[in-house]
Amino acid sequence: MTSDDIDESVDEPFHPLGGAAEENYEALLEEGEYDAELGMAMAKDAMRLTKGELTEEEFYDRYHEDVLEEFGEDSRPMAERVESAREEGRLEDALDRLGLGEQSRRETMKKMGAGAGFLGLGAWGAASDDDPESPVVAQDEDEDEDADGDGVQWGMALDLETCDGCLSCVVACHQEHNWDEGANWMYILAFDDGTVESPEPEEAESVRDFNYLIRPCQHCTDAPCEKVCPTTARHTREAGGLVLTDYDVCIGCRYCQVACPYGVNYFQWDDPAVPDDELDEDMVYDQRDRRVSSRGPRGVMEKCIFDPARQDGQMGEEMVGTTACEDACPPGAIQFGDMNDPESDPRQYLDNVPLARAIENDPDDDELQEAIEILQGETEADEADLDEEEALQLIEGEYGNEGSRFKLLEEYNTNPNVTYLGNEPGENAEQVPGPVAYEDVGMVDDRNEVLQEKTIGGIDGLSL
């Protein structure tokens, strides 16, 4: 890279987790075998790309030669799109020079088989809705053409107001996926941020007194982690929009770890605690026969995966549209499903939050049950003691109104597929002890306690 490629604000922290996190990430990259400076620069610009400060073509060109030199390949997801667009542009320029009119240009391109085979390219770009003759982006040969990729987008609604900090979701995720101690794919953090405060655990009157953040992977539609992966190991699966890591392709460069604004990635430092022969094969490979599920082998990156084995029906059709963490959550704070389906659990929850909370709570009170039935349309208001407005007021009085709704770090334009309800952590938020300690449920909060000999010191919540 030349000095012209480096942003003048290089001394200012670019990572939303702050300067300490950046220093940790850089030190971690320096412990590896790949170019740490390149990884840091690409991570910074991947975030600039999602924020709209760089174009995809600029990002590709800036690092293409460096990636080729370092890794011997550049299989980033924008590579084919950029090169195909350029080839298309060159072809159109050539046709212009031949003096062909628009109709002749179209006929010539059709005779060339839409150009892709003639130019030796896999694709030209996305097909136009109104032109059936347009070339389309080629699918991966191992992508199931019958996969559930017709608009399904798996995601979550997370209700921080009903989370009780019990850590049941963390335990369930660990039991299903067998990740090593401290590599918490699911994380529950109690926090203070100067505006809202959590009590000392021994002084709390209720678990509801704490402010919580539930932190799975956000499975972003525009994921920066994917943009820096040189090998296609980190990729967005067409079926369901899941952001996954192919453990058989991952080389462990850790660039994705730095490029993620949310700190959800973990490196598998040692041989896993649970050996391969103890893993259920149905929990390891997805419907494409790619190794993307369960914990990773030594030397690769891993994170929350939204359970492709469940979504592919390998655990039974009744498990499709569920996750281990959702199943284990006593208060129903985790709602998983298709964010594009109005009838899915998260969409239904977001449509009427007070009612959804009431349904999850299933109160014994007869009047509350009547109010629920009225709002669900199961009981006509003129047949009950309450009208619809009174029923809603009763439910809101018991379970609160919706409150604030947000997505994490929306300014980064990663388009996360997780929607939160409750208090959004402020810029000064700090993790504090919650009502249930991780060690109380056999888990580890800070991975540094497990990896002291393999990492430098870290900050709470930072993935290693």
Report strand pairing: 405-406 vs 418-421: antiparallel
Q: What is the mean pLDDT of the chain?
A: 84
Q: What whole-number percentage of the chain has pLDDT above 90?
A: 66
216: left (phi over 0), alpha (psi -120 to 50) or beta: beta
Domain coordinates of the chain in residue numbers?
A: 141-464
- Strand ranges (E), 174-321: 187-192, 212-215, 234-236, 243-245, 266-267, 301-302
Contacts of 97 (CB under 8 A, 6+ apart): none
d(CA 355, CA 362): 10
Q: Averaged over 345-357, what is the pLDDT? A: 96
Which residue(s) pair with 335 in the sheet?
A: 157
pLDDT (0 to 100) of residue 185:
96
Indicate if the pLDDT at residue 100 is higher than 60.
Answer: no
pLDDT (0 to 100) of residue 297:
96
Indicate if the pLDDT at residue 129 is higher than 60.
Answer: no
Rg, Å, the chain Cα set: 25
CATH 3.10.20.520 assigned to 141-464: no
User: What is the edge-to-edge ordering of all strands in the sheet holding 187-192?
Assistant: 212-215, 187-192, 430-432
Confidence class of residue 108 from pLDDT cuts 50, 70 and 90?
very low
pLDDT (0 to 100) of residue 207:
92
pTM: 0.82
Q: Please write the tens of the pLDDT for every residue from 157-202.
A: 999 999 999 999 999 999 999 999 899 999 999 999 888 889 999 9
Q: DSSP readout, 340-377?
A: T-TTSHHHHHHHSHHHHHHHHH--S-HHHHHHHHHHTT
Structure-token pair, residue 300: 């690769």
Q: Averaged over 332-338, what is the pLDDT? A: 98
Indicate if the pLDDT at residue 2 is higher than 80.
Answer: no
Q: DSSP readout, 121-134?
A: -S--SPPPTT-TTS
Burial of 154 (0-12, 13-18, 19+ CB in 10 A): buried
d(CA 120, CA 264): 38
